[in-house]
Amino acid sequence: MGRRPFIAGNWKMHKGPAEADALARALKTALSDLTAVDVAVAPPFISIPAVAQRLQHTGIHVAAQNLHEELSGAFTGEVPGEMLRQAGCTYALCGHSERRHIFGESDERINRKVHAAFRSGLLPILCIGETLAQREAERVEDVLAQQLETGLAGLEADQVATTTLAYEPVWAIGTGRTASPQQAQDAHAFVRSWLNERFPAYVGKQVRIQYGGSVNPSNAAELLSQPDIDGALVGGAALKAESFVGIIQAASA
């Protein structure tokens, strides 16, 4: 039995509560017959309650874009996993490239966030990917191996099996540039082979690896037809119901 496709939309710093509710309502209507694909949306923190309430009793899950690694404490401006779970989240993004490259989050800190997600009852979506300079230096596999080695450190095999990995080449995020289907498949195949070398066979078979980086309805079908690409982490195209639904339809074809 194949892995069930998983399409997640990262709304980034867009959509306050009213706009987020409107988009969630449109998705709820458009995806009322959703059966073949797992779907999640990641609104800004302030919009999570509105979206979670709107999407109750649907097949659409809510994800957090980030979380703090501690359960509570004097961390002004941060949000812990337990509060996110109480607000209605099922998933949490850990290590999105913008967190790594704009906010300076290290592999070690991202690993603590992955553990915090599990501790809080959330399923992590661990983001990995190389910069353009790293790709041009032919270091893609080295970079991915390091991010996986540290990001998944200390997890049990069963936890790894329920972690979603999102391969998002930094040079393709928000740039309009997309990895070719073969480039994306090569990276995904490497990630799965890395898992197969380090964990029991069921882990590599079960882990879903999403592709992220300028995914849209016109390129989704070809990307998602690759054998090791199990879904997409969608940015800009997730901000409009029509384009996000188009990607989901491509995944269910």
Read off the pLDDT of residues 114-165 as tens digits, 9 standing for 90 and up: 999 999 999 999 999 999 999 999 999 999 999 999 999 999 999 999 999 9
Is 167 contained in some domain? yes
Q: What is the pTM of this model?
A: 0.97
Render 4-38 in DSSP notation, one character per residue: PPEEEEE-TT---HHHHHHHHHHHHHHTTT--SSE
Q: Which of 65-69, 91-95, 98-102, 170-174 has the lowest mean pLDDT?
A: 170-174
Catalytic residue among 61, 68, 96, 115: 96
* Residue 85 pLDDT: 98
* Residue 253 pLDDT: 84
Count of structural domains, the chain: 1
Is 169 contained in some domain? yes
Residue 168 is a catalytic residue: yes
Is 235 contained in some domain? yes
Containing structural domain, residue 89: 6-252
Is 201 contained in some domain? yes
Is 45 contained in some domain? yes
Residue 96 is a catalytic residue: yes
The CATH number covering residue 239 comes to 3.20.20.70
Is 1 contained in some domain? no
Is 113 contained in some domain? yes
Catalytic residue among 69, 98, 130, 168: 168
